[in-house]
Structures are given as structure tokens and as C-alpha cells.
Amino acid sequence: MVIRVKVIPKSSKTELVGYLPDGTWKVKVAAAPEKGKANRALCEFLAERLGVAKSRVRIVAGETSPLKRIVIE
């Protein structure tokens, strides 16, 4: 499965906020966007939310952008 995610880093807590009109998930992440911390927090959150192992969630596009494409195997 491939999903698009808009990430809002440095929020008060990590949570799914909603969806954009094009179906992109909007996720707030508590971690700061430095040294990949926000990306790791996002992958951990999605894995927990979808009930899969963390190793099965990968960012395939948008490593340094707020808009990301995520693959869940």
C-alpha cells in the first residue's frame, strides 16, 4: 500500500489530524525535523496505527519535505 502524508513536526503530540481533499493523510509529529527524528517518529506512528512492524514502513519520496510518499508492505 502506498500513502501520501503531510507531516507537521514539533507538535505537542503525535497524532493523525485528518485528511486533505486529495486523500493525503495529515499527521502531527512531536519530534523535531532534525537528523531524521521526525521521519522515524512518523514511521513508528504509522506502523503502530496500521498494526504492522516498523520495518515494513518506508519513506520512498520526500525525506526532507513535509509531503512524503510512504510504502507499507
pLDDT in tens, 13-53: 999 999 999 999 999 999 988 888 999 999 999 999 999 99
Asked if residue 62 has pLDDT above 90, the reply is no
Contact 47, 60 (CB under 8 A): no
Half-sphere exposure of 36 (CA within 13 A, CB side): 6
pLDDT at position 24 is 93
Extract the C-alpha cell encoding 20: 486533505
- The Cα–Cα gap between 72 and 35 comes to 22
Tell if the pTM clears 0.85, that is, is over it.
yes
